[in-house]
């Protein structure tokens, strides 16, 4: 039975995180060591409600990384006053606008790209599935163009039709052994969401 106020919801509140989703990224990071002292340039696609931002910002400061940049895109306004954090209201399917924004920071490639992106759903599974995979396919260019060859990414995906095909395509682009599929314990059991992780 769906319970919005489950263990992870209460844990997030207790630790002052904006959302329970932070524990999904935390679990992925612990398993695959996503963030380390070389994590200087990071792009987050669809950062609201920015619990992932809270986690990454804390990690980079724990590592005492200097001159890092965190670039965050979302279709919702996210106003934060944090050093080296830059948030933009941005449609990530607008290639020209994304290129311009990234270029303004003199960044050629990112060490890490993370995405907890999901489309607005309407409750019809087939339609929602098509919207989800369609949105993901429209963002693959960002990983191809802006991720370092030894960079890492974490992408949310739903295990709906076309899931296997999308994973196969990511393996073709980034290497079969580099791509992992992992569902953190913090995901609700009834949820179809899981994550694609690219290792170095």
* Residues carrying an active site annotation: 156
Gap between the Cα atoms of 157 and 121, Å rounded: 14
Residue 143 near residue 152, CB atoms below 8 Å:
no
Find the helix or strand (DSSP H, E) in which 14 lies. helix 7-14
The residues, ordered by sequence, that sit 6+ positions from 19 with a Cβ below 8 Å of its Cβ are 12, 49, 51
State the CB neighbour count (10 A cutoff) for residue 97. Answer: 14
State the CB neighbour count (10 A cutoff) for residue 136. Answer: 23
Q: Which two tokens stand for residue 49?
A: 């409600």
Gap between the Cα atoms of 156 and 140, Å rounded: 13
Gap between the Cα atoms of 7 and 91, Å rounded: 33
């Amino acid at each position: 039975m769906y319970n919005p106020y489950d263990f992870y919801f209460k844990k997030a509140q207790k630790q002052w995180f904006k959302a329970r989703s932070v524990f999904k990224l935390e679990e992925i990071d612990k398993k695959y060591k996503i963030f380390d002292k070389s994590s200087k340039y990071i792009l987050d696609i669809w950062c609201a409600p920015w619990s992932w931002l809270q986690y990454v910002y804390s990690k980079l400061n724990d590592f005492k990384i200097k001159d890092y940049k965190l670039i965050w895109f979302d279709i919702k306004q996210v106003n934060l006053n944090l050093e080296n954090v830059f948030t933009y209201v941005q449609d990530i399917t607008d290639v020209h606008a994304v290129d311009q924004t990234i270029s303004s920071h003199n960044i050629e490639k990112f060490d890490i790209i993370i995405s907890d992106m999901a489309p607005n759903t309407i409750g019809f599974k087939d339609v929602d599935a098509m919207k989800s995979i369609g949105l993901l396919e429209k963002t693959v260019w960002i990983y191809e163009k802006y991720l370092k060859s030894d960079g890492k990414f974490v992408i949310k995906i739903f295990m709906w039709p076309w899931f296997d095909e999308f994973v196969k395509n990511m393996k073709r682009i980034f290497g079969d052994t580099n791509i992992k599929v992992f569902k953190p314990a913090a995901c609700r059991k009834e949820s179809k969401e899981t994550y694609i992780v690219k290792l170095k």
